[in-house]
Structures are given as structure tokens and as C-alpha cells.
Chains A and B, each alone.
Chain A
Amino acid sequence: SQKIEQNSEALNIQEGKTATLTCNYTNYSPAYLQWYRQDPGRGPVFLLLIRENEKEKRKERLKVTFDTTLKQSLFHITASQPADSATYLCAPEYSTLTFGKGTMLLVSP
């Protein structure tokens, strides 16, 4: 069965630093992988989609990589801000979108 692993421990970083979140998946080869942000009490919000033939995708301060050999995606936020504090979910796309448990990011001023 599909398995998605994201760091369960919260990631604490200081404002201005780069945050790097990891998503590993096993047992299948998704055509796409998506990243979402979820704030407490709210639904997830789509951030970025990367296809299997793309190595890297950027959007403003966000960068996503997709290594289909390692079955891993990395999500980077550069020049992080306290407003970036949230839980970030990765979702490899298969027949339906399956989400990891998410990694909580805490950016302190």
C-alpha cells in the first residue's frame, strides 16, 4: 500500500533562515506531487505542484524538488518569516490524492 513519510517532529527555525521539509514515499510512482499548507482550524491550501519529469519548481520564496529515483520531494522556504508558521503537507498523486501527516514549521522572530 502507499506510504508517505514526513518528519513528525516540528521544525523550529529562526526568521530569515531557509526551512527544508522532507517527503518520502514508497510503493508507487506518482505522476505528480503537490504541497499544501494548513493553518489551525482551516482547510489545506494548495501551494505547488511538480510533475515527475520536473526536477525543480519555484514560486516566489518556495522551491520544490522531486527525485523519482530516491522517491523523495524536498520543500524549501527561503528567507522564512513568522507568517510561514503552519503545517505543510505533501501529497503524491496516484488514483486519488493521498496526504502525508504533515510537518509543522515554527518560524521565530
Chain B
Amino acid sequence: NAGVMQNPRHLVRRRGQEARLRCSPMKGHSHVYWYRQLPEEGLKFMVYLQKENIIDESGMPKERFSAEFPKEGPSILRIQQVVRGDSAAYFCASSAYRPGQGNSPLHFGNGTRLTVT
């Protein structure tokens, strides 16, 4: 039973390029979350998606960032025209239930480390 799979593990992009981060949730999980973590910083919530719907994107920058979780396939976090400040570890997590409903621990992937040169 595979856990949350994120790829790539490491991604290097030049300023101005696009970064696409992929996340396959645990089997049976329909709730996906993206977090960003900077060195010495905590996990910052970015976006919460349920199949085909964005439920909460309050933590995501309005420009250049977008996320999707299609009916088929992994969730994608897309960053357009990357800048050096986008360099961080991006973690995806999934859960079986929505927040506040039952026991809903998050299962995290091991992240994608994005470096913008």
C-alpha cells in the first residue's frame, strides 16, 4: 500500500521557467493539501483540494501559482515564471476525510525540493 508519492524529489529551474510538482495521494484518499516549507520555517499551508475542486486556496499566492486535482491522475502544483524566492520544499499530503471530520491525520509525501537559479 504505497504512501503519498511526490515527484520529482529535486527540481532545478532557472528564473522565469515553469515548475510542475506532482502528487499522488494514498489509495482511497480524495483530499489533497499542499504545504511549503522554508529552512528554519514551519509548514505553510497553501491549498486544499478535493477531487476536481479547489476547496481552500487561502495560502496560495494569487499570481503565478495554481493547483489542480483532476478526476484521473495526480494533483499538480504549478508555479509559472519562477523566482529565487520560490526555492523551498513543497510537501503534499492526503487524508481520507475533510478537516474536522472524524480522525483525519494527514499522510505526507517526502516533498519536492525546488531550487531556482
Which residues of A are interface residues toward B (Cβ below 8 A)? 4, 31-32, 34, 36, 41-46, 49, 89, 93-102
Contact = CB atoms under 8 A, between A and B. Distances in A.
A93 B99 contact: yes
B110 interface: yes
Nearest to B105: A46
A43 B56 contact: no
Given A43-B111, A46-B107, A96 B42 contact: no
B7 to A, nearest CB: 13
Given A93-B99, A97-B33, A43 B93 contact: yes
A86 to B, nearest CB: 14
Interface of A is mostly: loop
Nearest to B91: A43
A4 B43 CA distance: 12
B106 A100 contact: no
B43 A44 contact: yes
18 contacts: A4-B42, A34-B106, A41-B111, A43-B4, A43-B108, A43-B109, A43-B111, A44-B91, A49-B105, A93-B99, A95-B99, A96-B33, A96-B56, A97-B33, A97-B45, A99-B45, A100-B42, A101-B41
B45 A98 contact: yes
Contacts of A45: 108
Given A43-B91, A44-B43, A102-B42, A96 B108 contact: no
